[in-house]
Amino acid sequence: MNFLCVALSCCMEALSIYSENLLWSKLKTDYASLFPNLIDRRRFNRRRLTPFIIQVQEHISAKLENLSELMVIDRRR
């Protein structure tokens, strides 16, 4: 369950979606066939999972580190 929540949270970040309501609306309308067993929105709380999300972001960042001489970082917060 935590894996799914972290993955959804990372997708939200990548797509610049900052509202859980908007994400669930998009998933249910635009991607319903891809998420037939989507967890209830009330069970998804990305704020609790922040330490896991940071670990995933750091891991991905380390993988991408040597792929380019120039990297652009866009981060709201």
Say if residue 43 is exposed, middle or buried (CB neighbours under 10 Å; 0-12, 13-18, 19+).
exposed
Mean pLDDT of 1-7: 74
For residue 20, give the nearest of 48, 42, 37 by alpha carbon: 42
- Percent of the chain's residues with pLDDT above 90: 1
Within 10 angstroms of residue 9's Cβ, the number of other Cβ atoms is: 21
pLDDT, residue 64, reads 79
pLDDT, residue 11, reads 80
**DSSP code of 65?**
T
